[in-house]
Every structure is written in structure tokens, then in C-alpha cells.
Amino acid sequence: MASTSRINLAGQVWYGKRLQCQLARRFRLPDEKRIGAAPGLAADADVDSDFEITCITAQSGLPEWRGAWRRLLADSLSPEKIYQTPEFFRFLVDTRTAGADQFELFLITQRGQDKVVGIVPVRIVTIALEFGVVAWQARVVRILGSVPLMPAAAALLHQLCAHLLRTFPACAAVSMPAFPSEMQAPLYGDRRHRALLLHGWRACHTIALPDDWPAYLGQLSASKRHKLERQYRLLEQASGPLQLERVDRSVAVKALVEGVRALAPHGDPARDYRVLAANRLLLSYVLRSDDEVIAVIVGSRYGDTWHVQQILSAPAWRHLAPGAVVLHAALQDVITHFALTSADLGFARPGHQFGATHTLHTRAHVLIARRGGWRTSLLGAFVRFDGARAACASRIKPFMRRLLRR
């Protein structure tokens, strides 16, 4: 009986690998050299529109664009405004390597006039779509900041998407990874495109930051404050005295690099962190006890918002909630030393002890794809598959919890 099970399992694995190879051969994307802009598409081909779209990557550092760029940023409704800034685009330029993702900058002007109405930075990235044992590495054009830095008009949005998909013909879709639900109306209704939601609409956590730390603590109940203090005390008793180190300048980047390497050893982020710090975008924290790294927050800042990209913790201490401890300590430092009004945790699901201070915003990873074609069909199949998988999981989890209580 056991040998039969092993044979069946081996057959399933073999079939899965064979199917994956067949899909890879059939749906293989062009190589990296063909991902770039198609020749002859420097300016927008939609002559019936009131707007013209031009690639200005080579001129991105010219001062003539800075005034318009800052004006557009002041009116931006993006929850990820930091990725639309000249500083972040300069970071992409300064950290570009031979194998790095391609990025471009597009200028939108009113046709026949010199008035700049939009500046849209984009990046070519790969997203992994997993169908069980089969995975498809789809190339997409990511609009940095999710909400394009231009007037919120449906016709202009779809003109931009059409232009990007013509410019990058090997890409399956235009990606907007944190698109707000209250702005979704322009996504639909264009006959050229199909809007797809990866993983559906999800809650993003933000924390309003008051003027001082006592005001923040006043938003928490007495039991929650006691729990946070107890978590900190238990972690310190087990690990030794805790020290929180802020990393927002180039001279402190070494501590962040060492912390990330200790907890997530893959990759070498040192150069990226140094450039982010030089552009005054970095705001991260390292929690340590003596020479041991307990937890790390990788974060950035722009305007009035602190963006938390990642919270890492040492496996040996996870039973003592080091992620909650470092976030609480970092929030105290941010509120005390910075004039920021919001902390954005993105799609992360932090501990329930912070629920009283959180505001939930509904966002989704939106893909705008051409109607028709195998890539759009495969994207649609994945969205349906992922939705069915999430529905099954939502039904199974309560059942398993009831079963474990017995």
C-alpha cells in the first residue's frame, strides 16, 4: 500500500513537471532584449486624443521638468506617492545594474500645447502566478505609485495603458499594485482593455500619528497598553537589554544591512539602502540585544507618511512577538522625532493589539490587459483559480479551528 502511494505521488510530480514544461514552451516570453520599447513609439499613436504621451527617460534629470513634477505630486491621490517622486526615480537610475528591471519615464502633455498634465514613471517587473504545481512568470508594466500622476479621467487612463502595452509588446498587462477602491470607476468600460484584480479587494492598514506619544497611547485601551508593555518586558527578560537603532542616514546603513542579512540572508541590499538614505527616503529600525539582531523594520518616508515595507524577526524569538515589540517602539520614535501624520503598513496583517489605532483602506492589485490573446486568457484563468482557492480556504479555516477545539 505504501509503495502504491509513493508511485502515485511520483506520477503526480512527474505529470506536474511535464505540464509546467509544456506551458513554458508554449507560452515562453521573448527574451529580455525584446522587452524594451518598440521602435517608432516614442510618442503616442492615438491622434484622436487631446493628450500626447512621450518617453523622456533620457531627460529625466533636466530641471525643466522638476516644477511640473512637484506640482503634480502636490495633487497626487496615490497611497504610494513616494514611488512617483524624482528622488525615487533617481534612486532607480543610481542603482541600475546590468540585470536590473527596466524603467522609463513618460510625459503627458495637451496636444499642440506645452502644458504638462502628467508625469508617469513605470518599471518592467515579473510577477509569479502559481497554478498549483505550475507557475507562470508574467512580465508586466508597473505604474509606480499605482495611481498615475495625471488627471483622473477614464479616457486618459486607457490611452496611457494602450500606449504602454504598445510600447512594451512582450508585457502581459499594466500593473497598479495598490489601487484604491474609491477610484475604481475609470478602470472599466473601455472596449480595448480588461481590468483584473489579483487577490481581489483587500484591506490595507494605516495608523494616524498624533502630535505626541501620550496622545497615541491614549487611543489604546488599558488592557492593550498592558499587553504591549508585557510583551516588551518578556522579550527583554529572555534576550537581555533591548536597543532600538534608527537608520535614516548613510552612516547608519551598515546596521540595517547587517540586520537584514542576519534575518533574510538572500540578496545584497547595501547599495540600495545607501542610495535611499542619500535621497532622504530611508526610515528603518533595528532592534537588537547586545550583538544579536532581534527584529528589523525596513521602511521609507516621503511627505507626511512613513511606509513600512517589511518587518523581519529572528525565528528563535518569534514566540515572544518581536515584530509587535519593534513596531511599537518604532512608532514611538517616529511620533517623537518626525513631523509625520500617517504610517502605512500596506497589505500586511499586524497583530490585533494595534487594531484600535488602525484605519483600513480597501485597495487591490489591478491589472489592465488587452482584450483577447493568450496572455489575457491566462491572467483571467489565474484570477478565477485564485478566487476559488481563497473561497475554499475561508471555509476550511473555521472548520479546522472548530475541529482543533474538540
pLDDT at 350: 57
Q: Are 276 and 319 part of one and the same domain?
A: yes
Q: Are 147 and 236 part of one and the same domain?
A: no
Look at the pTM and tell me if it is higher than 0.85. no
Residue 164's region, left for phi above 0, alpha for psi from -120 to 50, else beta, is alpha
Q: Are 23 and 142 part of one and the same domain?
A: yes
Give the span between the Cα atoms of 16 and 131, in whole angstroms: 10
Q: What is the DSSP letter of 155?
A: H
Please, are residues 386 and 199 in contact by the beta-carbon 8 Å criterion? yes
Residue with cell 537588537: 288
Q: Are 215 and 170 part of one and the same domain?
A: no
Give the span between the Cα atoms of 194 and 158, in whole angstroms: 10
The answer to whether residue 314 is domain-embedded is: yes
- Neighbour order of strands in the sheet with 51-55: 51-55, 103-110, 116-131, 134-143, 173-180, 358-370, 193-208, 342-346, 305-313, 292-302, 284-289, 243-247
Q: What is the CATH number of the domain that holds 335?
A: 3.40.630.30
142 DSSP β-pair partners:
123, 175
Crossing angle of the two packed helices 322-337 and 222-239, in degrees rounded to 10: 110
The answer to whether residue 380 is domain-embedded is: yes
- Output the tens digit of pLDDT for each of the chain's 406 residues: 444 433 343 344 333 444 444 444 444 333 333 344 443 344 555 656 889 999 999 888 888 888 899 999 999 999 999 999 999 999 998 888 777 789 999 999 998 887 899 999 999 999 988 877 778 889 999 999 999 999 999 999 999 999 999 999 999 999 999 999 999 999 998 899 999 999 889 989 899 999 999 999 998 889 989 999 999 999 999 999 999 999 999 999 999 999 999 998 776 677 789 889 999 999 999 999 988 999 999 999 999 999 999 999 999 999 999 999 999 999 999 999 999 999 999 886 655 445 567 888 999 999 999 998 888 888 988 888 887 877 787 777 676 666 666 6
Nearest to 323 by CA among 354, 352, 295: 295
Nearest to 165 by CA among 368, 356, 7, 316: 368
pLDDT at 264: 86
Residue with cell 534612486: 91
Domain extent at residue 146? 15-201+364-395
C-alpha cell at 200: 481581489
Tally the domains of the chain: 2
pLDDT at 355: 58
